[in-house]
Amino acid sequence: MVIVCAQVHRWVNYESMLKECLVGRMATKVPAALKAMIPPPPPTSLLPPVSVAPPPPDKDSRPRYDWFQTDVTVHLVVYAKRKLPSSGCTQVDLEAGVLRLEVLLGKMSYMIHLRLADEVEGNVSVHTSFSVGKIQVTIRKQTKGKWESLGQPLEFHNTFLRKKDRAPFYRECVLVSKTEVNHNTYVFRLQLPRGTVRHVPVGQHVYLKANIQDTEVVRAYTPVGQNLSVSSNNSSQDSDLYLMIKVYPDGVLTPHLNSLHIGDHLCVSGPEGTFSLRPLRDVTHLYLLAAGTGFTPMARLIQAALQDFESIRQTKLLFFNRREEDILWRCQLDELAANSERFQVEYVLSDPSESWTEKRGRVDESMLKDVLDRPDGSKCYACVCGPTAFTELTIGLLKQQGFSEEELHAFQG
């Protein structure tokens, strides 16, 4: 039939005519007129979805959030669209029905800020899926029922900004214990208020704020774990902060801190700082050079290197102090070195006793040459923390040893 038609009507393109009769794929775009007739989906469901999975990757790296509910709980889910550090990056504050959730992503900060739609209980729980970049915050309702919305947006809600563009956010914490480390240094254990979860990323600090003689005084301190045990790494602990603080008799803030009693309150900010664990991913040799309380950022960094980075074959701490009694957590450092082939510590004293048999003096080129190995095929990284003069001198000496800017980090508060 087609052949006859082609012979009689050669000007007719029968292939095109038949092509129009083919049934092809269903169109994926809904016409605008039809789309307008389709009612929008309800804002949420009383039943949680079977699974809350992150959305497919797209070109937009901006995090997003979603929520679902049951009769008794509200679940807020943040999709960071990247892997999250195992030390945590989430700051949650729930107070008087206002939820403030901040996720720290490198130099950026994503914030959710809402007045919740109805009354809730004061506690929150946070579950983080680090490998897929998902954070789920769960809050219990005071009254059973369905919410029509999550709540009313407040200032900076659903914003993705540079961390430096956000002002520090303070909460009042309670001093619950004070443990002596040596003759002038203590570990202050601060309990966060109910409704607050604060994950401080490794190497970042918090600010303590106090009013002293009608003057607001602010100082930075880097949290440590409760101890150096890798198996009991406290980086994910939600309710407490541990701050190692040296008391200076003529200092502005530390005498006030030393005078606090158990149960007293202290204003503590959220995490600040530029340090990231990302450069350590392929590192084989990690060198930590600390002077005095410059040891504090190294404490959790040592734990992270041994627990989370199998590629790091050697972590070496070079610890500078004036006298032997000034060495912080020496017993724990020695025990860790004895139990781990991947960790070494060397002490350097500037004013040692005659019985001291280890390194003496101050940081210099010959000392670093003796301590720092750069085997063929290795990838090295060095971190430095201490008084400004020590940090600047050490960074300069490391550069002379061949370390590039990308292989160095100076902790500066």
Domain assignment of residue 148, given as a range: 64-165
> Terminus-to-terminus CA distance in the chain, angstroms?
88
Domain with 264 in it: what CATH number?
2.40.30.10
User: Is residue 52 in some structural domain?
Assistant: no
Alpha carbon separation from 188 to 172, 208, 261 (Å, rounded): 14, 12, 11
Domain check: are 265 and 299 in the same one? no
- Among 269, 289, 323, the domain-final residue is 269
On whether both 151 and 255 belong to a single domain, the answer is: no
Q: Is 100 annotated as a binding residue?
A: no
> Considering the domain boundaries, does residue 389 fall inside one?
yes
Total domain count, the chain: 3
Alpha-helix runs per DSSP H in 185-292: 254-259
**Claim to verify: residue 157 and residue 105 sit in the same structural domain:** yes
Domain presence at residue 32 = no
Query: Does the residue 2 lie in any domain?
Result: no
Counting as low any pLDDT under 50, the low residues of the chain are 1-37, 42-48, 50-51, 53-58, 233-236
One domain, residues 237 and 336: no
Judge if 317 and 385 occupy the same domain: yes
219 annotated as belonging to a binding site for a ligand:
yes
How far is 244 from 222, CA to CA, in rounded Å? 8
CA 145 to chain centroid: 35
User: Is 347 marked as binding a ligand?
Assistant: no
Fill in the amino acid letter for 200. Answer: V
CA 152, 157, 158 angle in degrees (round to 5)?
120
By DSSP bridging, strand 185-191 and strand 170-180 are antiparallel
In this structure, the strands spanning 185-191 and 285-291 are unpaired
| Bridge partner list, 137 | 76, 126
- Are 404 and 283 part of one and the same domain? yes
Residues 196-252 pLDDT 10s: 999 999 999 999 999 999 999 999 999 999 999 866 544 445 689 999 999 999 999
Strands 151-153 and 223-224, by their bridges, are: unpaired
Pair (315, 362) in one structural domain = yes
Locus of tokens 């290795």: 378
Tally the C-alpha atoms within 13 A of residue 325's C-alpha that lie toward its C-beta: 6
Amino acid at 172: E
Give yes or no: residues 301 and 396 share one domain: yes
Is the pTM higher than 0.75? Answer: yes
Give the number of residues written for the chain. 413
In a domain, 24, yes or no: no
Q: Please say which residue of 131, 165, 199 terminates a domain.
A: 165
In a shared domain, residues 134 and 150: yes
Is 224 a member of any domain?
Answer: yes
Do 257 and 283 lie in one domain? The reply is no
- Here the CATH number for the domain that contains residue 314 is 3.40.50.80
How far, in Å, CA of 412 to CA of 126, rounded? Answer: 30
Can you tell me the distance from the alpha carbon of 137 to that of 85, in angstroms, rounded to the nearest whole number?
A: 17
Is 9 contained in some domain?
Answer: no
Tell me, what's the pLDDT at 412?
84
CATH of the domain at 106: 2.60.40.790
State the sign of the Cα–Cα–Cα–Cα dihedral 195, 200, 201, 206. Answer: positive
Domain end call among 148, 165, 182:
165
380: left (phi over 0), alpha (psi -120 to 50) or beta: beta
Cα 227 from Cα 348, distance rounded (Å): 22
- Are 402 and 317 members of one domain? yes
State yes or no: 198 annotated in a binding site.
no
| 178: DSSP letter | E
Residue (of 75, 79, 69, 35) closest to 148 by Cα position: 69
Per-residue burial over 109-138, b if 16 or more Cβ lie within 10 Å, else e, is: bbbbbbebbeebeeebebebbbeebbbbbe
23 falls within a domain: no
DSSP states of 68-96 as a string? EE-SSEEEEEEE-SS---TT--EEEEEET
Q: Are residues 150 and 209 in the same domain?
A: no
